[in-house]
Amino acid sequence: MNFEKVCVIGLGYIGLPTAATLAAHSLQVTGVDTNAHVVSNLQNGQVHIREGGLNALVQSVLEAGRLTIRSAPEKADAFIIAVPTPFYEDKRADLSAVMRATEAIAPVLAPGNLVVLESTSPPGTTRNLVVPILERSGLKAGRDFYVAYSPERVLPGQILRELVENARVIGGIDAASAEAGCDLYRIFVKGEIILTDCTTAEMVKLMENTSRDINIAIANEFSRLADHLGIDIWEAVKIANLHPRVNILQPGPGVGGHCISVDPWFLVEAAPHLTPLIRTARQVNDAQPRFVLQIIERAAGGSLAGMRIGILGLSYKPNVDDLRESPAIQIAYLLKEAGAVITAYEPNCPAAVLEGLNTVSALQPAVQNAELLVLLVAHETFRQLQPQELVQLTPARAVVDCVHLWNHPSWQQAGFTVHFLGVRKE
C-alpha cells in the first residue's frame, strides 16, 4: 500500500514526534490537536514538548511545508490516533479522547484508507469501539478500509531514536489491515515489525508495562522490609543481583508517567477476578509516596508542621520534563497536607506551575531557606551537584535521598546527614 498523506490526531509526547518523523520521510502530514494553545504554538514553530532533537525536526518539516497543523482531521491516506487514555477515579479507562478522535475521522474517511490506533487501550478497544464508530461513515471495516492497532514502545528522552530503531508490533482487524499497517510503519521503522491481531497487540503493550510495574512493586516492598528490619536495601539488591538469574529493580518514591502507573488498571478492568497480583502491585506502588512521607517525618524528628522543606525533582522519572502521574508531586502535596512549607524545583521544567505548591525556576531559591532537603528524582543535574557547592546555598543539613544518588561519603564530610529510602537510621 502506498501512502502520500497521513493525518496524525493528538500532538503530544508520541503524536508530534511520529508526525514529524513521517514528514521527514517525505510524506505530507497533517498534525491535529484539539488544544488551541498547542495548535497556535506549533503553527508559529513553537514546540511544547521537551525532547532531544524534536524542536529542530519539527521546525524543519514545518518550514519545508511537509507538516501542517490543524484543529480537525483532513482527508488522508492514513490516520494515526495518538491521544491520551487516562483513567477515572474508579480506575476505569477514560476512552473519551479516543472516541472523539475516531468520530472526527469518520466524516473524512474514504475507501482504501488505513486507520491506526496507537493510544494504549484496554483489550478489545480497536475492534469494539474504534471500528463501529468508523463504520458510521457507511463504509465497512476490512472491506472498504483497513484498521490496525500499533502501540508506541519508546522511552522519553530517546523518542526520536526509538521510534525508528525499536521493534514494532502491528495488530490488524484482519491480515490485510496488519499488512497495510506494516506498509505505513516500514516507511521509517528500521526495527523488526511483528504482525498479529489487534487484540493481541493491545494486550502486548499492557503486558509490557504491567510486568515492569510488578517488578517495581516488589522492589518497593523490599525497601519497606529493609526499613523495618534495619538493613540497607541498596546493598541487599546489589548482592542479590549477583545471582545469574535474578534482576531486582531499584526501589524509589513510587511509579508515575502515563504508562506504567495507568496501563495495569486496564487489565484489572478487563477481568477483575483474574488479576489479584496486578491489582496488588498497583496498590503497593500507589502507596509508596506515603511510605516516603514516613521517612521524611522520621528525618525531621517527628512533626512536619511549619518545617521549611526544599523539594528537588518533580517529574515522574529522571531527565524528562513529564510531570504526569508523578509520585514526586504526590509527595509534595502530602508534605503540604502535613503542614510543611514546600518550595519545589524541577530543572527540566523550570516554569512548572502546580496548584497550591510553591515552585521555583532555579536551585538556589528552592534551598536557600530550607531546613530539610528531599531529593525525589535522579536527574543528572542533581547527580553532578557537589555537596561543597550545596552546603553554601542552604542552611539545611539534613537530606532525604529517595533515589540513592548522594551516597558518597563526601556528603557526610560536607556536613550533611543523609537519610536514604530503605536504609533505616535510628
Catalytic positions are 205, 259
232 strand-pairing partners:
423
Task: Name 229's Cβ contacts closer than 8 Å, sequence gap at least 6.
Answer: none
Q: Which helix (H) or strand (E) holds 283?
A: helix 276-299
342 strand-pairing partners:
309
Pairing of strands 372-375, 359-360: unpaired
Q: What's the rounded Cα separation, in Å, for the pair 8 and 391? A: 49
b/e sequence 159-171, b meaning 16+ C-beta within 10 Å = bbebbeebebbbb
Q: What's the rounded Cα separation, in Å, for the pair 334 and 328? A: 10
Give the up-direction half-sphere exposure of residue 186: CA atoms within 13 A in the CB hemisphere. Answer: 12
CB atoms within 10 A of CB 2: 6
Report the Cα 65 to chain-centroid distance in Å: 30
- Residue from 49, 97, 104 nearest 75 by CA: 104
Q: What's the rounded Cα separation, in Å, for the pair 33 and 220? A: 38
In this structure, the chain runs to a length of 426
DSSP string, 80-122: EE-----B-TTS-B--HHHHHHHHHHGGG--TT-EEEE-S---
- Residue from 114, 110, 143, 111 nearest 130 by CA: 114
| Residue 121 grid cell | 487501550
Q: What's the rounded Cα separation, in Å, for the pair 17 and 56? A: 11
- Residue from 394, 251, 384 nearest 309 by CA: 394
CB 365 within 8 A of CB 346: no
